[in-house]
């Protein structure tokens, strides 16, 4: 089972954290499908596409069909916009359950639908705050949990991790869109907010992988004890 981290090259607040993540050790080029580029690091798959982040419906099923890998979690990297224009790092589930049949979703999804929320949103929120504090982003940046309000459609536990767009993020994104390739390039220095998101992703995924390995070892030990008649 794999985790999909999804970024779009059209959004500096999306490709910035993705590039910072790819700058970390262990990434290798993965398969390409439907014009989408992927990178592999253990049981994590980073996907890059060039459409709007809410336009790629059912990426979980499409990846499973292309790769034969089962997706158990989706993490979308995106920009955050708010009336206050205050810099922010936010997390939220996705869906538009407030819309009625016949309503037109303006930002993806379908009326009355909501994806299962990622069970890791609470620890992610705490981790984002901790790392943001250590990187000097607080009090400039607000760390918040948002309500669900858009797509894309998926049936896999999902969350969006968003950055309030800043001038520095705009600048870093322009070069990324022009240099997209099928292998991890050495990215330019990233904004603090992008690095915070990337580090949070790396830490959480490492913790998840460690827990999964521990459970796997425990299962193998239990099976061995059963075979030997100790249980």
Cα Rg of the chain, angstroms: 18
Torsional class of 26: left (φ above 0), alpha (ψ -120 to 50), beta (otherwise): left
Strands 142-145 and 88-92: parallel
Q: Which run of H or E residues covers position 170?
A: helix 167-178
Q: 131, 47 in Cβ contact below 8 A?
A: no
Domain count, the chain: 1
Residue ranges in 23-78 assigned as alpha helix (H):
59-67
Q: Are 79 and 163 a contacting pair, CB within 8 Å?
A: yes
Structure token pair of residue 199: 């580090």
Q: What CATH number does the domain containing 89 carry? A: 3.40.630.50
Strand order in the sheet with 44-49: 28-29, 37-41, 44-49, 2-8, 71-80, 158-164, 88-92, 142-145
Cα dihedral 140→145→148→154 (10° resolution): 100
Q: How far apart are alpha carbons 215 and 212 in whole angstroms?
A: 5
The answer to whether 180 touches 9, Cβ cutoff 8 Å, is yes
Would you call 162 helix, strand, or coil by DSSP?
strand
Give yes or no for a contact between 172 and 195, defined as CB atoms under 8 angstroms apart.
no
Tokens 């929320």: give the residue.
117
Number of C-beta neighbours around residue 73 at 10 A = 22
- Paired tokens of 189: 């220095």
pLDDT of residue 124: 87
β partners of residue 28: 40
Residues of the domain holding 215: 2-228
**For every one of its 231 residues, what pLDDT tens digit does the chain have, with 9 covering 90 and above?**
999 999 999 888 898 899 999 999 999 999 999 999 999 999 999 999 998 888 889 999 999 999 999 999 999 998 866 656 778 899 999 988 888 888 877 777 788 889 999 998 998 899 999 999 998 889 888 999 988 878 899 999 999 998 875 544 444 444 344 334 444 443 344 578 888 888 888 877 777 665 555 555 555 556 555 555 555
In DSSP terms, 91 is beta-bridged to 145, 161
């Amino acid at each position: 089972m794999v985790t999909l981290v999804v970024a779009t090259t059209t959004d500096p607040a999306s490709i910035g954290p993705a590039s910072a993540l790819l700058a970390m050790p262990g990434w290798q080029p993965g398969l390409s499908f439907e014009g989408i580029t992927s990178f592999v690091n253990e049981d994590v798959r980073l996907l890059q596409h060039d459409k709007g982040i809410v336009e790629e419906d059912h990426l979980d099923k499409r990846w499973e069909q292309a790769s034969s890998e089962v997706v158990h979690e989706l993490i979308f990297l995106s920009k955050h916009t708010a009336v206050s224009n205050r810099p922010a790092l936010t997390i939220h589930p996705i869906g538009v359950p407030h819309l009625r049949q016949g309503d037109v979703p303006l930002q993806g999804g379908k009326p009355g639908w909501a994806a299962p929320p990622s069970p890791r949103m609470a620890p992610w929120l705490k981790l984002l705050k901790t790392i943001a504090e250590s990187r000097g982003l607080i009090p400039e940046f607000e760390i918040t949990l948002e309500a669900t309000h858009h797509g894309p459609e998926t049936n896999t536990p999902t969350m969006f991790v968003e950055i309030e767009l800043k001038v520095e993020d705009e600048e870093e994104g322009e070069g990324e869109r022009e240099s997209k390739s099928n292998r991890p390039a050495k990215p330019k220095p990233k904004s603090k907010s992008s690095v915070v998101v990337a580090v949070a992703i790396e830490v959480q995924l490492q913790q998840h992988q460690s827990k999964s390995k521990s459970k796997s070892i425990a299962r193998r030990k239990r099976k061995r004890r059963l075979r030997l008649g100790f249980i």
